[in-house]
Amino acid sequence: MQALVQTSLDGPRDLKLTDVPVPRPGPGELLVRVTAAGVNYVDISQSYGTFAGGPQPPYVAGIEAAGEVVAVGEDATGTVGTHVIGATIGGGAFAEYCVIPAVAAIPIPPGWDDEQALGLAVSWPTALAALRLGALTAGETVLIHAAAGSTGQTAVKLAKHYGATVIATASPEKHETVRRLGADHVLDSRSPNLTTEILALTNGADLTLESVGGPTLETSLAATKRVTGRVVVFGLPAGTAPITNWDLVYKHQLHLIGLNLGALIRFAPQTFGEVMHDLFDLIATGVLTPTTPTTYDLSEGPKALLDLESRATVGKLALLP
């Protein structure tokens, strides 16, 4: 089968279309004929080796696959012919066939095409978990960075659904998309005066979803309410940034919360189960609707990842084998 193999830790440029054997499902696993693979920022982190505990090259890249179950491993629950979406954090999704753990297989919502469900395994639970861990309540103000991205768009929709005022940031050419989602204020994520601009709208956000890192971490801390404010940190495309105990005592007196979806699944399975349960309710009630991803042929995978890395994309990206 054809697959995109990451051959170095020098980034998506070294993602090569390669002939590899079709994987075999082991105990507890399903073999899926991939019809659409979701692109996530995680793929970029893994391609540079900055994703803690990520796969080592050469590896078949991609962590989110949707498609048809074609074989069921020993002791696995699953039915050949059904359509599922699942995450496989060790890679394997950017391929014609992919093995996923049966426990991670989520049925494609009725009436949806496989590619319309992309996000359900990674971006959507991340957005909802961030709002939950951040204890968002109606009437509060939430600051959402990368609001035009796959995770950010979901967070904006959900925060509005839960009755929050949304201050969103995104690159200027993406502002109209974010406004259409219902964000109350949309600011330029590239502005050098972002902190001042946020504080002109609020005396501090009650909750900030911090998915950018680098200098944006300081903006997020400075723009969040003293004492009661919460900052959920879950991504760092702009790089690492330090925060010290001195900062928390004398400068940024707030609640700092780290989020990693893999850790949530492993260490708090009940909370993760509640998140997935709520996501299905949000789908059933029409709050979350089918995704319309920007699609690329599997062979164009390196371009898709480079587009994501260069901040050129809006919403979800899909690779079609």
Which window, 4-12, 76-84, 88-96, 309-317, contacts ligand NAP (CB under 6 A)?
A: 309-317
User: H/E element holding 318?
Assistant: strand 317-320
Q: Which residue in 155, 181, 261, 304 binds ligand NAP (CB under 6 A)?
A: 261
Q: How far apart are CA 208 and CA 130, in angstroms?
A: 9
Query: Could you say which residues in the range 224-243 bind ligand NAP, by CB under 6 A?
Result: 234-235, 237-238
Give the residue with the Cβ less far from ligand NAP, 6 or 313: 313
* Residue given tokens 């029409």 in the structure block: 286
Strand residue runs (E) in 20-101: 29-39, 59-60, 64-72, 83-87, 97-101
Contact 263, 286 (CB under 8 A): no
Binding mask 39-68 for ligand NAP (x = CB under 6 A): -xxx--------------------------
Chain-centroid distance of CA 318 in Å reads: 13
Enclosing H/E stretch for 144: strand 141-144
Residues in binding contact with ligand NAP, number by CB under 6 A: 29
Question: Would you mind telling me the total number of residues written for the chain in this entry?
Answer: 321
Indicate whether 209 belongs to the interface with ligand NAP (CB under 6 A).
Answer: no
Nearer CB in complex with ligand NAP: 70/201 = 201
Q: What are the angstrom distances between the C-alpha of 33 and each of 23, 38, 140?
A: 11, 14, 43
d(CA 129, CA 278): 10
Query: Residue 89 or 254: which CB sits closer to ligand NAP?
Result: 89
189 binds ligand NAP (CB under 6 A): yes
Interface residue with ligand NAP, options 50, 202, 260, 294 (CB under 6 A):
260
Residue 258 burial (CB < 10 Å; 0-12/13-18/19+)? exposed
Q: Which helix (H) or strand (E) holds 273?
A: helix 269-284
Considering beta carbons, is residue 116 or 189 the nearer one to ligand NAP?
189
Residue 211 is a binding residue for ligand NAP (CB under 6 A): yes
Give phi and psi for 256, each to the nearest 5. Answer: -105, 125
Question: Per CB under 6 A, does 123 bind ligand NAP?
Answer: yes
Restricted to residues 273-292, the positions that interact with ligand NAP (CB under 6 A) are none
149 binds ligand NAP (CB under 6 A): yes
Q: Does 126 sit near ligand NAP (CB under 6 A)?
A: yes
Among 35, 116, 150, 177, binds ligand NAP (CB under 6 A): 150
Instruction: Measure the CA–CA gap between 89 and 46, rounded to whole angstroms.
Output: 10
Query: Residue 144 CB, nearest distance to ligand NAP (Å)?
Result: 10
Say how far apart CA 247 and CA 270 lie, in whole Å.
Answer: 33
Give the interface segment with ligand NAP, choosing from 62-70, 86-94, 121-129, 269-277 (CB under 6 A).
121-129
Among 195, 278, 311, 320, binds ligand NAP (CB under 6 A): 311
| Residue 116 lies near ligand NAP (rule: CB under 6 A) | no
Which of residues 118, 170, 187, 305 is near ligand NAP by CB under 6 A?
Answer: 170
| Alpha-helix residue ranges (DSSP H) falling in the chain | 41-48, 123-133, 150-161, 175-180, 194-199, 215-222, 245-246, 261-267, 269-284, 301-309
d(CA 258, CA 245): 16
Q: Under the rule (CB under 6 A), what is the footprint of ligand NAP? A: 40-42, 122-123, 126, 146, 148-152, 170-171, 174, 189, 211-212, 234-235, 237-238, 259-261, 308-309, 311, 313
